Structure 1
């Protein structure tokens, strides 16, 4: 059975819409895989970040995009945060934003 995707806030979709075309295209392809495979999607497309948080790993000729997501009751996936990656390591602030939102989604 397929999964459903929702966004924590409409601003996240707006941020992704501003990503360079090559990164957005890869993101769209990976989202399709996520919808089909859910928690079975693995590297290089998805990476577990611990405690139920996952990273979607989009890339294109213009750079690297990352979005964080989690699974919620049923077959729901919530995209919590998205950004263009500019350094090798994921910035702590980006990770903390996603973790805070995940707690809100899971615990109200």
Structure 2
């Protein structure tokens, strides 16, 4: 069974839609790598563990950095639970908290 990447809901889709086109294209490349190579074959700088079950995809283009926070769920599925444009060195606590809360909906 191949890996699948899903977006949790419309709120997350709206967050992604707000991204610059080139950063979104960079995310699409990471998603494609996950779906073709498998999540277990991807490492930094493309993905990074944050805490617990929470990880981030790290797309970048033209000096802009996006972060798509995700969890891996049953059946080789990755669910993106939050997305934002990076403006600080560390992932803001409010995004971590939101992602953890939304991850409860992913199954």
Task: Give me the TM-score of the superposition, normalised by structure 1.
Answer: 0.88
- Cα distance in 2 between the residues matched to 1:22 and 1:31: 14
State whether residues 63 and 85 of structure 1, in contact with CA within 8 Å, keep that contact through their aligned partners in structure 2.
Answer: yes
- Cα distance in 2 between the residues matched to 1:101 and 1:54: 13
1:46 pairs with 2:47: yes
The match for 2:75 is 74
Secondary structure at the counterpart of residue 5 of structure 1 = strand
The match for 2:19 is 19
Q: Structure 1, unaligned stretches of length 5 or more?
A: none
Aligned residue-pair number: 106
Alpha-carbon shift at residue 49 of structure 1 (Å)? 1.3
Give the alignment's Cα RMSD to 1 decimal: 1.5
State whether residues 15 and 82 of structure 2, in contact with CA within 8 Å, keep that contact through their aligned partners in structure 1.
Answer: no
Q: Structure 2, unaligned stretches of length 5 or more?
A: none
Secondary structure at the counterpart of residue 105 of structure 1 = coil
- Point out 4+ residue stretches in structure 1 off by more than 4 angstroms: none
The match for 2:56 is 55
- Cα distance in 1 between the residues matched to 2:104 and 2:14: 22
- Cα distance in 1 between the residues matched to 2:63 and 2:51: 28
Task: Give me the TM-score of the superposition, normalised by structure 2.
Answer: 0.88
The match for 1:29 is 29
> Whose helix proportion is higher, 1 or 2?
1
Secondary structure at the counterpart of residue 69 of structure 2 = strand
The match for 1:10 is 10
Alpha-carbon shift at residue 62 of structure 1 (Å)? 4.7
